[in-house]
Amino acid sequence: QLKKTDVVPLLMNYLLGEEQILVADPTAVAAKLRKMVVGGAGKTVVISDFDYTLSRFANEQGERLSTTHGVFDDNVMRLKPELGQKFVDLKNKYYPIEFSPNLTMEEKIPHMEKWWGTSHSLIVNEKFSKNTIEDFVRQSRIVFKDGAEDFIEALDAHNIPLVIFSAGIGNIIEYFLQQKLGAIPRNTHFISNMILFDEDDNACAFSEPLIHTFCKNSSVIQKETSFFHDIAGRVNVILLGDSMGDIHMDVGVERDGPTLKVGYYNGSLDDTAALQHYEEVYDIVLIHDPTLNVAQKIVDIIN
Ligand code: C5P
């Protein structure tokens, strides 16, 4: 007689057999997977980062692709180089601070607030229209990871909610999904910075609270939204992220089930300290993985 959980050792064998997949504590991962398989799709929610998690970090030539904010850097550079340069200067100044190993999170936060705040002001002051921004997205270098479309559609087909929790720009993700999938699947919800438009559809403000890399947790979640009722009872969380700021994205979900944390490592292989840190905070670490294969395999056994 086959048991539901018999699929878990098969998946574990796969995970442990791949050189690019690191699992620091296989016993703990297998235990989480068993609980998730027993709970099934009805008890599951996926909470995922967008930039460099659902989207690709680099193309085949190894060139860095765009984040949602980066859509402005590229397009504005083309149309208004002076303003474009301001976005690029901000990134050159603050990106190294975001990933600096020498600063604590508390030290980084004021810089992140300044970075996000300044770039959002530039967007609002320029009053970009909705159409222009949709066009920017069409011309952008945001690329889905291989299998991302199928993954999102599979979640929708199995009625597993997908929460896209992004410190990027939510509208850009919405337009991207609309352009790639034809529509935003019913199961998909956003917690992100949203550009607000005036009656003429020109950017006039950003939603509050501001979400930056280091406040992706319950502090920025509006729990009164009906969506939180939709996911009540979904005690098992699959969390997908690529940075240290992503590991608490499940903190707003009140429940006692496991969170299986899958982390994309996009950094250098020579940086063994960083890699080790990823192994400590993520259950499964995927090294330079341009696909959603592992997440898809996990969802496949849960159904
Ligand atoms: O939450 P997520 O990982 O998607 O965070 C968005 C990323 O966008 C940050 O890691 C940051 O490096 C980047 N960013 C940017 N330009 C800004 C603000 C943030 O490229 N103006």
The string of pLDDT tens digits covering residues 225-241 is 767 777 888 999 999 99
Exactly one of 6, 25, 49, 250 is catalytic; name it: 49
Q: Alpha-carbon torsion 220, 122, 175, 98, what sign?
A: negative
pLDDT at residue 224 greater than cutoff 90: no
Contacts of 89 by beta carbon, 8 Å cutoff, 6+ apart: none
pLDDT, tens digit, for every residue of 16-54? 999 999 999 999 999 999 999 999 999 999 999 999 999
Q: Is 49 a catalytic residue?
A: yes
Two tokens, residue 229? 């009722």
Atom of ligand 1 nearest to the CA of 118: 21
CB of 50 sitting under 6 A from ligand 1:
yes
Query: What is the C-alpha separation between 64 and 170, in angstroms, rounded?
Result: 21
Atom of ligand 1 nearest to the CA of 119: 21
Q: Does this complex have an ipTM over 0.90?
A: yes
pLDDT at residue 57 greater than cutoff 80: yes
The residue whose CA has the least distance to atom 17 of ligand 1 is 69
Atom of ligand 1 nearest to the CA of 242: 3
Query: What is the C-alpha separation between 246 and 282, in angstroms, rounded?
Result: 10
Q: Do 211 and 220 form a contact (C-beta atoms < 8 A)?
A: yes
Mean pLDDT value across residues 278-289: 97
Query: What is the C-alpha separation between 197 and 130, in angstroms, rounded?
Result: 8
Q: Do 88 and 165 form a contact (C-beta atoms < 8 A)?
A: no
Pocket residue to mutate for ligand 1, from 48, 120, 213, 266, most atoms within 8 A of Cβ: 213
pLDDT at residue 297 greater than cutoff 90: yes
Query: What is the percent of the chain with per-residue pLDDT over 70, rounded to a whole number?
Result: 98
Mean pLDDT for the chain overall: 94
Q: Is 51 a catalytic residue?
A: yes
Q: Which helix (H) or strand (E) holds 203?
A: strand 203-206
Two tokens, residue 215? 């406040």
Query: What is the percent of the chain with per-residue pLDDT over 90, rounded to a whole number?
Result: 87
pLDDT, tens digit, for every residue of 37-46? 999 999 999 9
Q: Please give the pLDDT value at position 100.
A: 87
CB of 250 sitting under 6 A from ligand 1:
no
pLDDT at residue 172 greater than cutoff 80: yes
Contacts of 169 by beta carbon, 8 Å cutoff, 6+ apart: 68, 69, 71, 192, 193, 194, 195
